[in-house]
Amino acid sequence: MKTDDKSNTPKVRIAVIGKSNVGKSALTVRYLTRRYIGEYRSNTDLLYRQTLTVNNSTLEVEIVDVCSCDLSLFPEEAIYWADACLVVYDITSRDSLNHAVELLQRVQQLRSQIPTVLLGNKCDLEHLREVDEIDGRTVAVQHGCQFHEISVAENSPTIYSAVDMVLTDCRQLQSTQKSRKFSVSKMIGTLIGSANTKGQQNTSQGGTVVVCHKSDLYKSRVLKRRQNFTATASL
């Protein structure tokens, strides 16, 4: 999570990944708009942006709905870009859980600390179930992430609580990182005789959904992460 460049509104970025047809787009649109879009076809990644109030805090939330057109391509840029990750499978497809396991392994290799939630979607289709709940839960435990079964079609309340919880986790992580950074800069400021007094404006924004391409955002985000890494390593 980061603070928006133009305001003090904290920003949280979520990547939604999973096999094709598991309901990633339906989930993203449901969470942000409370609506269910049954048929949603896209052959590109889509970035949704909306200002939300979560647990009494205003957040600018960006969600990238990662296109799964080419399953052999792991969405590395999206994972570097994100603060949290939702991995979705379809309880009526064993293959989709297997794919989710591969994704979770890659996510852990790249970003071992990133808050992650495994979601088993379409639990309204009980008669077509191929994946028992315990199987999904076991995978989640093995990969140290949260787990929920949901039905985007039936508007499970768990959709909102699960995403709100991961947003809250991101905020807490950000606060910890901020206070650590603050004490380091304060210490350096004391040493060289100038405290960091950089001012910030607070202009919170309203709530609309924006759909846009994200390639440039990814580039700057990945670059910033690499710079942060160098800075942390050198301290």
Ligand X SMILES: Nc1nc2c(ncn2[C@@H]2O[C@H](COP(=O)(O)OP(=O)(O)OP(=O)(O)O)[C@@H](O)[C@H]2O)c(=O)[nH]1
Residues that bind ligand X (CB under 6 A): 18, 20-26, 38-40, 42, 68, 121-122, 124-125, 151-153
Closest approach, Cβ 66 to ligand X, in A, equals: 8
Closest CA to 163 of 1, 28, 20: 28
Shortest separation between residue 54's beta carbon and ligand X, angstroms: 23
In whole angstroms, give the CA distance from residue 1 to residue 20.
Answer: 27
Looking at the Cβ atoms of 10 and 18, the one nearer to ligand X is 18
Tally of CB atoms within 10 A around 185: 13
Cβ distance to ligand X smaller for residue 38 or 193 = 38
By beta carbon distance, the residue nearest ligand X is: 23
Instruction: Give 59 or 64: the residue with its C-beta nearer to ligand X.
Output: 64
**Distance between CA 234 and CA 227 in Å, rounded?**
11
- From residue 66, how far is each of 121, 179, 233 by CA, in Å? 16, 32, 31
* Cross-strand pairs, 132: none
CB of 17 to ligand X, least distance (A): 9
| Residue number, 13 or 30, with CB nearest to ligand X | 30
